[in-house]
Copies of this chain bind each other. A is one copy, B any other.
């Protein structure tokens, strides 16, 4: 049986645009001789639509799009994710064929942890469901349904499904691809079914969907795979007879089949124009794109996140403060890869504390990348504020106030450029700084998008080295990588004067933020107790800043944002 997985980049709320993409891919799949074409979870609406799902008219519009898609679908069966409004609301998959919606499957397992809030919006479906396509029994599941080993998947397999479809919107975190393939392979082996996983691709606010659609056979081998971080139509030939025969030879004791919605019986068999059905037309499998890993994967996520946030929000051009430090350097590289050098303006804003070295590096970098570089010296506004505040501040020593002022002047200038030219400001702070509050609200935190919000400082360095290796030349001047990190907001300032060394700090942050380890456990884990004390005190106090931070690209299992919902008012120190 030949199937097609349409890994599309749907945009939240763009029902018309998503509909058009879906129709285009259905036509393409039909031309490729596929009997079935899959689309991601909530493909019609985009994912996650959040509180748009509380609007009757949004749900009605989504349903109307599904009906229009159905009306144009012949000779192929399409499975299209959409939010269904019935006696309640469901996260659903429409089975579309012969000019109409033939059946609707409703997601059973609703995730409500981490970045997910599906219980807020949806009612659970009643259980597994199957369809018959060209004589082949096919089970339906949506995303989380297959992450749990039991029903609905196991029920569908017991009821005779040879192929399980899973339509997903599976948010990316670094390295998740391996986990997905391992898990789905085991599901296939446990149930002796082939599994087709069709996933959303694209950026949506802080979430990245990496795509990574693939097909495993009943032995758990990946027989076809889409590239990550790009749209794709993956066409694969699945040996569904082999799955059936393997079951005859299976010696394990299986439980009795449970109740299931008899969609097959209601519908009868759906017929398509595809050759094959239970037969193989070509060799089993399809193209197998490599799975990215490590720095290449993270970098691709950053690039896609930047491109989609910018373009989907109607911007053509971004602007960023390029200090000559490593963070803004990495941001500039990502922005150029995402949008092209002609769509990126860098601004260097030296003060009396800016070293010649960093200023020179900023110029070199802009030249290497081919971006515009504006130079705006902030000395005059600094002096104007100093004069204005002199009386009020009389008798007090310079402190963080004056440092923050410089950062805020830069923030104001970037925002002025944004306002005047319609550019999106990309903030350049990293996750280490944001964790401990070593960042100025409305200063270096200002912007529409905080690209490195989920990238620790040590990872910024690693990515920079990776980019130079990849380019096989010093795109990033070595001096940028070698210079000790400094905010350059007073003479001879180094980050290490205020913070533990990043190597030590980042490991503590990871354990505390991402793994919720306690102070005591961190000490038992062998972290320097002094670093632990300093880091934890700073993290908890900085929540108010993070709450006002722009969205960024989520890369870890616990990014700041939807993932980590911590009260600002919070006296617990654990």
A residues contacting B by CB (< 8 A) are 11-15, 17, 48-52, 54-58, 61, 112-113, 117, 119-120, 203-205, 308-309, 312-313, 374, 376-378, 380-381, 383-385, 387-389, 392-393, 396, 399-401, 404-405, 408-409, 411-413, 415-417, 419-420, 441-442, 446, 448, 516, 518, 520-521, 544, 547-551, 564-574
Contacts and interface: CB of A to CB of B under 8 A. Distances in A.
A138 to B, nearest CB: 31
Contact of A569 (B15, B312, B387, B400): B312
From A204, A518, A547, A568, name the one whose CB has the most chain B CB atoms within 10 angstroms.
A568
18 contacts: A13-B572, A15-B572, A50-B565, A52-B570, A58-B572, A113-B120, A120-B565, A204-B569, A312-B571, A376-B388, A377-B388, A380-B387, A392-B420, A401-B416, A408-B442, A411-B442, A547-B550, A548-B548
A178 B556 CA distance: 46
A44 to B, nearest CB: 11
Nearest to A387: B380
A375 to B, nearest CB: 10
Contact of A14 (B13, B49, B571): B571
Given A17-B571, A569-B11, A389 B376 contact: yes
Given A309-B569, A376-B388, A389-B376, A412 B415 contact: no
Contacts of A566: 50-52
Contacts of A51: 564-566
Contacts of A393: 420
Contacts of A15: 572
Given A112-B112, A376-B388, A408-B415, 10 more contacts: A12-B570, A13-B567, A15-B572, A61-B572, A112-B119, A113-B120, A117-B120, A117-B565, A412-B412, A415-B442
A443 to B, nearest CB: 9
Nearest to A397: B420
A441 to B, nearest CB: 7
Number of copies: 2
Nearest to A569: B312
Given A113-B120, A384-B381, A572 B52 contact: yes
A269 to B, nearest CB: 37
Given A408-B415, A550-B548, A516 B569 contact: no
A11 B396 CA distance: 34
Contacts of A389: 376, 413, 416
Contacts of A550: 544, 547-548
A249 B61 CA distance: 54
Contact of A385 (B113, B416, B551): B416
A396 B58 CA distance: 40
A442 B569 CA distance: 22
A441 B415 contact: yes
A303 B317 CA distance: 44
Contacts of A49: 567, 572
Contact of A516 (B50, B54, B378): B54
A523 to B, nearest CB: 12
A119 to B, nearest CB: 5
